[in-house]
Structures are given as structure tokens and as C-alpha cells.
Amino acid sequence: MRTNVLTLCLVLAACVAAPALADHHKPSAPVPDGYKLVYSNFFDEADALFGIQATDKSAWRLAEGKKGKSIEHFKRANYKTKVRSPFNIALLDGYEFGDFVLECDMLQTGKEYGHRDMCIFFGFVDRSHFYYTHIATKTDDRAHNVFIVNDKPRTKISHKTTKGVDWGKDKWQHVRIERDTKAGTIRVFFNDMKKPIMEAKDTTFKRGMIGFGSFDDTGRIDNVRIWAPQAHKVEKKGVFKEGQPK
């Protein structure tokens, strides 16, 4: 049986001490010196959804995970974007991150087509200022790239990307994101932790919340772990309140 662990610096040592959890907290590839595990969540507890802020919480539920439980966005969110950007977003509540390495497992549950996607959001300042990586079957200027939303419709900022990925059917995929705010680098990995599928460079947003979802598809997220020099505790309630349909 796995344990749901939400860690931030003050409780880190207690959370990683148990031998049964050791493998879950090891990164798939080395992390920079000075980084430590500051957040992890395996979504196995019944109240796991209380730890997120979502564009439409009714579009999210607990589901079968890679092992144990996961969180799932199972329908398109009922949400009005301020500028053209993804609809299904669930942010990890209460914390912001600058430099970080994130790893998670993702299962895409939608039909196959060119823009079949799942997204990871970061540097999330508010609903019209953030980054996201759109991981999709085929690349173009609107798919399978790193994007910035900066008070205008999402804009591609990747300078390198692959032709796309094979999400497969009922198959969990391992995803890793590395961000260095000083250098401005963003690198995205998909299963192969040695060769990035996307690379971008941007320094617009130095810090922000992290989250998961999709432009308008469905999928599951499990085994989220974040290594960083530190996590910054913030109080940002009602992030998506203005976007709720009336």
C-alpha cells in the first residue's frame, strides 16, 4: 500500500524516512546540487482532490492509478478562458516554484488525433500569465510545444521539439520537466530521460504554481514529485473564479 505524501521543507525528513517509500522518491535522472524533494503526491487518499485548484472541479475525480489511485480529468472543463489557452487545469494548491525538476506518470485516455494531448503548467501567476508544455501526437504551432500565455493567446516558445509522441492506449508514460530560471531553460522529457522532446528558453515568469491537465482532452496523473532548492508557500484562493460560467 502506498502512502500519499505532501511534503514541504519543514516535514521533508519525516516524509522520506520510510524505507517503503524510498524508491518512489528517487528521480529517474540526477537533479542539480542543492535540490531536494519538496513536494510529492501519489493521490492515494480519499481527500486528494482537496489539494488542487481547478478550472472546473466537477471535471476531476479519483481514478485507478499506475499503482493505487490517480487524479483524472474525465471531461472538458466548463470554463471560460480569458485568452486562448487550455481549459482543463488543476493547480497544486498553496505553493509556487522557481527552479525545479518535476517527474510524474501520465495516462492519456482520449481518442487518437493530431492534437491528442496532456499538459503540465508551471510559472503560473494567474489565469492569463503562465507557461505550459503541450505534449501531443503531432507537432505544429499549436501543439506539442512549450507555450507562454502572457495576457494574449498562447504563443509557442520552443526552439526545439520532436515530431510528436505515441500516447498509446491504456499505457502510462513517464514525464519529466527541468526548469532553470536564471538560464531561462525549459526541457521536457518523455520516457527517455536522456533526450528531451522539447526545449525552450524564456525568463518572463520567474516563479509560479504548477499544475496538470489538457487543452480539451482527458487523462490521468499519478506519482507527482518535485525537486527544487525550495518551495514557496503562498495563499492564492479562487485563481479561476472569474472564469466560471454564470
Q: Where are the alpha helices (DSSP H) in the chain?
A: 12-16
Structure pTM?
0.91
Domain spans of the chain, in order of start: 27-232
CATH fold of 27-232 reads Jelly Rolls (2.60.120)
| Residue 122 or 246, more confident | 122
Q: Residue 148: pLDDT above 90?
A: yes
Q: What is the pLDDT of residue 22?
A: 53
Least confident stretch, 5-14, 58-67, 70-79: 5-14
Burial of 141 per CB tally in 10 Å (0-12, 13-18, 19+): exposed
Q: What is the pLDDT of residue 16?
A: 35
Mean pLDDT in residue range 21-28:
74
- Mean pLDDT score across all residues of the chain: 91
Q: Where are the alpha helices (DSSP H) in 49-164?
A: none
Question: Can you spell out the DSSP letters for 6-61?
Answer: ---GGGHHHHH--GGGTGGGS-SS---TT-EEEEEE---STTGGGGEEES-GGGEE
- List the grid coordinates of 90: 488543476
